């Protein structure tokens, strides 16, 4: 884990601990990298509850209860699916905060509408769902790394905005 990600995880850990919260992840394009980054910190079991790696559409539906019709009509890489993943991660865990990512890391799989580097983020914090779309440049490694950094940065900001 690089120093930036390590520092983000440490700050997120403290923000969650201050609130006596735990977090869950629902990951597609990152394949568990967000969860791995969090659990690289010693003592993470006090604030990291669980992670779902739902790479396939079937896994999104089976583990997180993302509606297959939503995937069929909007695509796996969409705002609707990212939000449903974040909601499903909370619903199927004992966490109070979640982050979900679904995107196209490349080098293949992109389209005109959704080029390589397109990533949808879903967050559930304080009982509210939110989502963001980001477009990252670079190869597969760079897209996945940027996705992890953004997911942790944004989740930290959302958690910090909640009262302790």
Name residues of the chain where pLDDT drops below 50. Answer: none
- What is the set of domains in the chain, with CATH numbers? 3-160 (3.90.950.20)
27 beta partners: 53, 101
Question: pTM above the 0.85 mark?
Answer: yes
Q: What is the pLDDT of residue 1?
A: 64
Dihedrals phi, psi of 111, to nearest 5 degrees: -145, 180
Dihedrals phi, psi of 151, to nearest 5 degrees: -60, -45
Q: In this predicted model, what pLDDT tens digit does every residue of 84-94 receive, in sequence order?
A: 999 999 999 99
Cα angle for residues 7, 129, 40 (degrees, 5° grid): 25
Q: What is the pLDDT of residue 164?
A: 80
The alpha carbon torsion through 57, 149, 130, 115 (nearest 10 deg) reads -50
Q: What is the pLDDT of residue 26?
A: 98
């Amino acid at each position: 884990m690089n120093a930036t990600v390590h520092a983000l995880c440490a700050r997120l850990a403290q923000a969650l601990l201050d609130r006596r919260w735990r977090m869950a992840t629902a990951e597609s394009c990152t394949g568990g990298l967000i969860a791995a980054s969090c659990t690289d910190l010693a003592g993470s079991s006090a604030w990291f509850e669980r992670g779902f790696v739902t790479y396939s559409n079937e896994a999104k539906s089976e583990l997180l209860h993302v509606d297959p019709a939503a995937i069929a009509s909007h695509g796996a890489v969409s705002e609707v699916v990212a939000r449903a993943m974040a909601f499903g991660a909370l619903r199927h865990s004992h966490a109070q905060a979640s982050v979900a990512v679904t995107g196209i890391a490349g080098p293949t799989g992109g389209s005109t509408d959704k080029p390589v580097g397109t990533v949808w983020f879903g967050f559930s914090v304080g009982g509210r769902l939110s989502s963001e779309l980001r477009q990252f440049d670079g190869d597969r490694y760079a897209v996945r790394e940027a996705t992890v950094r953004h997911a942790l940065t944004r989740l930290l900001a959302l958690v910090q905005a909640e009262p302790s």
